Amino acid sequence: MKARLLPIAGLLSISICHAESMLTFSTAADYSTGKYGSSTKTETYYMPVGVKYEVSDWTFRATVPYVETVGPANVSGIGADQIELGKSGTSRRRASGLGDIVLAASWSAFQQGPWLIELGTKIKLATADETKGLGTGKNDYAIQAELYRSLGSHTVFGTLGFKKMGDPDGIDLKDPFYSSLGWSFRASQQTAIGLSYDYRQKLQDSSAPLSDATAFLTHKLDPNWKLQTYVSTGFTRASPDLGAGVFVFYTYD
């Protein structure tokens, strides 16, 4: 699932210049499936509503998701934070409801010519129902740096971050470093395509690191509306086997 708690930032069309003031609303339909270390698969439907406000060198984001998941009772959380808590069994459950709300802020620390460096922080609030397996029931905190380099119609970008995980009762999660590397190509004034790769250290001694790749296409319908579709696949048992989704963005300025 690319709704990796704005980790979606790597999937948006890259803009080297921030507007003086801009407000963007978004919604999405996202599907992912994977085993996440369990013996049977977990299917997740993720439908977030987001808002992004850009002013001067600052960007503020908030994401409020609705989640539905079907899978083993011992698999908790969604997306990149999906983890196996306890031993796998035959018990399965279907659960739905409010997911974890994510708040984020970033600052354009350096911008010169084709280069842009942003420093940011994210907070995952434990608003999802822990008893339903929709979240871990604990807050997570992250800091990160993002680098963008424009090369004509091409843009390369990368992220390096560190996350402080909240530990569920009886579980000691590791605090991982994570990174991403990507490329986008503006095929026209309205359309961009690209690829990205994401990696995160493992959260438990018995688990695996996260490793997946995503292909995406962004199309601007008019000055205000934009669509984005993507597909992703994972390379480890901590990653979704397959993910796909579509985002809709509306920008008011």
Render pLDDT for 11-40 as a digit per residue (tens, 0 to 9). Answer: 344 454 555 789 999 999 999 998 887 778
User: Does residue 235 lie within any of the structural domains?
Assistant: yes
Q: For the domain that residue 108 is a member of, what is the CATH number? A: 2.40.128.130
Q: Is residue 2 assigned to a domain? A: no
State how many domains the chain has: 1
Residue 3 lies in a domain: no
Q: Do 48 and 79 meet the contact criterion of CB atoms below 8 Å apart?
A: no
The answer as to whether 174 is a domain residue is yes
Q: Would residue 248 count as lying in a domain?
A: yes
Average pLDDT value for residue range 209-223: 95
Half-sphere exposure of 215 (CA within 13 A, CB side): 3
User: Which range of residues forms the domain containing residue 230?
Assistant: 9-252
What burial class does residue 206 get, using C-beta atoms within 10 Å of its C-beta: 0-12 exposed, 13-18 middle, 19+ buried?
A: exposed
**Residue 16 resides in a domain:** yes
* Residue 4 forms part of a structural domain: no
Chain position carrying tokens 């992703």: 232
Q: Is residue 65 part of a domain?
A: yes
What's the pLDDT tens digit per position in 40-89? 888 999 999 999 999 999 999 999 999 999 988 777 777 667 777 665 55
d(CA 172, CA 152): 46
How confident is the model over 133-139, as a mean pLDDT?
90
